Amino acid sequence: MNRMFLALRSMVVALAVSALAVPAFAQEFRLLSSWDKNYAYNPHMLDPFIKGVETGSNGRIKFVVNGPETVPPFEQLEPVSSGVFQFLFTHGSYHFGTTPAMTVVEALQGDLAAIRKSGLLDMLDKHYQKYQLKLVMLAISPEGAYNIILRNPVNAQGDLAGRKIRGISTYGGVVKMLNGAMTVLPVGDVYTGLEKGLIDGTAWPIIGALDYRWNEVAKHLLRPGFGINYEPLFMNLAAWNKLSKQDQQLMLNVARKVEDDWHKNAQAVWKKEEALLLSKGMSITEMGSAQKQKLSAAWSSGLLETGAAKDPKFTAELRKFATEKGLLK
């Protein structure tokens, strides 16, 4: 009897120790990303957020990441709004058909501190809550987040007259100012399009060309870069409201650190990729001085026009807000 009691006691102790090894109230969240795991910005935005939250919760919170192979980028907002997934890491252009808000804000000026002080993040959070989404993190770059990659240098006038440039509508203001012609082409077809001369260049974030090996078929980086890049991380609003106050604060604290680090380190990250591209045979081609002077205004006005065509009410409200806060001239 004594032996049986000791065996039972040992079993109880073993079970108790095992239970302690499993975090209490463990939660696993499904995160949907608009890009695959090799996306150039993941190590600076998504990965540190996930690691920070998992570490800060002592492993109690975990993330399972699904990419565009699960849900195409342009279709991802709805399944997160409805709660099929709890998180979404994306760009505003992918849900422009639902709301242009996160695309149009890239027309604004100002560094991260000025943007936070203005109350813009609260305005965007309130807007997206209409779509059952909580804005948890918004990685904002310095100016110069986008560029155009070309098969040939700019012409003697310093522009792209007569050339076909692949890009989405958000690049329209810049391409128009440079006298180029916008054309639509899936990202997967850009390499072949450049190789065969079906397009003369492609507009893209200032890093990422290496991932697609476009440097093999297009040898020129148009400078200067332009625009500010906003990349949001949303959470399903109902799932957010179910979190404890402590977990909400943990996520917000991690998000603010990621935002700070990215804004501080972005230009160094861009320069590193540019150096690699130059070492692989690419070269810099500069737009003309007249075009440089118009560049920032062309980017902003193009985005505002695009936004107004989709949602004139929101775009007008944003323009008024940004002007009053000194984020738009």
Would you list the DSSP string of 95-135? GTTT--HHHHGGG----HHHHHHHTHHHHHHHHHHTTTEEE
pLDDT digits (tens, 9 = 90+) for 118-131: 999 999 999 999 99
Decide if 298 is inside a domain. Answer: yes
pLDDT above 90: percentage of residues in the chain: 86
pLDDT above 70: percentage of residues in the chain: 92
Model pLDDT, residue 169: 87
pTM above the 0.75 mark?
yes
Give the residue from 112, 106, 79 showing the smallest Cα distance to 91.
Answer: 106
123 and 221 housed in the same domain: no
pLDDT digits (tens, 9 = 90+) for 284-308: 999 999 999 999 999 999 999 999 9
249 and 235 housed in the same domain: yes
Model pLDDT, residue 18: 41
129 and 37 housed in the same domain: yes
CA distance 143 to 242: 37
CA distance 72 to 94: 9
Give the residue from 195, 171, 174 showing the smallest Cα distance to 184.
Answer: 171
44 and 185 housed in the same domain: no
| Residues 327, 109 contacting (CB under 8 angstroms) | yes
75 and 106 housed in the same domain: yes
CA distance 106 to 125: 16
Count of domains for the chain = 2
34 and 164 housed in the same domain: no
162 and 138 housed in the same domain: no
43 and 165 housed in the same domain: no
Domain that holds residue 183: 146-226+280-324
Model pLDDT, residue 25: 67
CA distance 301 to 106: 11
User: Lowest mean pLDDT: which of 7-11, 82-86, 177-181, 269-273?
Assistant: 7-11
Which residues, listed in sequence order, are joined to residue 63 by a DSSP beta bridge? 29
Model pLDDT, residue 13: 40
Is 80 exceeded by the pLDDT of residue 5? no
83 and 214 housed in the same domain: no
Model pLDDT, residue 4: 41
115 and 69 housed in the same domain: yes
Decide if 6 is inside a domain. Answer: no
Model pLDDT, residue 22: 43
| Residues 181, 162 contacting (CB under 8 angstroms) | yes
pLDDT digits (tens, 9 = 90+) for 13-43: 443 344 444 445 689 999 999 999 989 999 9
Model pLDDT, residue 329: 79
Decide if 2 is inside a domain. Answer: no
Here the CATH number for the domain that contains residue 262 is 3.40.190.170
Decide if 127 is inside a domain. Answer: yes
Decide if 3 is inside a domain. Answer: no
| Residues 150, 274 contacting (CB under 8 angstroms) | no
β-strands 164-166, 201-205: how paired?
A: parallel
170 and 257 housed in the same domain: no
78 and 193 housed in the same domain: no
Model pLDDT, residue 279: 97
From the number of C-beta atoms within 10 Å of its C-beta (0-12, 13-18, 19+), residue 257 rates as middle
Give me the chain's average pLDDT, please. Answer: 92
Decide if 10 is inside a domain. Answer: no
